[in-house]
Structure 1
Amino acid sequence: MLEQITALILTYNESPNIKRTLQSLTWAKRIVVIDSYSTDETLDILSSYPQVEVFQRKFDSFAGQCNYGLGKITSEWVLSLDADYVLTDGLINEIKTLAIDSDIYSYGARFKYCVFGKPLRGTLLPPRKILYKREKAIYQDDGHSHRVIVEGKSSQLSAYIHHDDRKPLSRWLWAQDRYMILESKKLLDTPNHELSLGDRIRKQKILAPLIILLYCLILKGGLLDGWHGWYYTFQRVLAEILLSIHLIEAEKLK
Structure 2
Amino acid sequence: MPELTAIILTRNEARHIVACIDSLRWADRIVVFDACSDDDTVALAEAAGAEVHQRSFDNFAAQRNAALDSVTTDWVFFVDADERGTDALAEEIRRVIAERPENGWHVPRHNVIFGRVTLGAGWFPDYQFRLLRHGHARYVRPVHELGEVDGAVGYLHNPLIHHNYRDPAHFHAKQRFYVEHDAAILKDQGVRPKPRNFVLQPLRHFWWRFVTLKGYRDGLHGLRLSLYMAYYEWRKYRRLAALWRGS
Q: Report the Cα offset of residue 231 of structure 1.
A: 4.6
For this pair of structures, how many residues does the alignment match? Answer: 243
Per-residue Cα deviation, 1:92-120 (whole angstroms, up to 9, x for no partner): 22112225253211111222221244222
Change (3 A) 1:71 1:20: same
The TM-score with structure 2 as length reference comes to 0.83
State the AA in 2 paired with 1:61.
N
Contact 2:26–2:90 (Cα < 8 Å) also in 1: no
State the AA in 2 paired with 1:128.
Q
1:66 and 2:103 aligned: no
- 5+ residue gaps in structure 1? 193-199
Change (3 A) 1:90 1:206: farther
- Equivalent of residue 197 in structure 2, options 199, 204, 207: 204
Change (3 A) 1:19 1:173: farther
Change (3 A) 1:93 1:234: farther
Q: Report the Cα offset of residue 132 of structure 1.
A: 0.7
Alignment RMSD: 2.9
Equivalent position of 2:130 in the other structure: 130
Contact 2:121–2:222 (Cα < 8 Å) also in 1: no
- 5+ residue gaps in structure 2? none
Q: Percent identity?
A: 28
d(CA) in 1 for partners of 2:18, 2:171: 19
Secondary structure at the counterpart of residue 184 of structure 2 = helix
d(CA) in 2 for partners of 1:215, 1:153: 30
Moved over 4 A (4+): 166-172
Change (3 A) 1:230 1:87: farther
d(CA) in 1 for partners of 2:228, 2:76: 31
Equivalent position of 1:32 in the other structure: 31
Change (3 A) 1:116 1:168: closer
Q: What does 1:66-145 correspond to in 2, within 5 Å?
A: 66-100=64-98, 102-125=100-123, 126-142=126-142, 144-145=143-144
Contact 1:91–1:159 (Cα < 8 Å) also in 2: yes
Contact 1:32–1:72 (Cα < 8 Å) also in 2: no
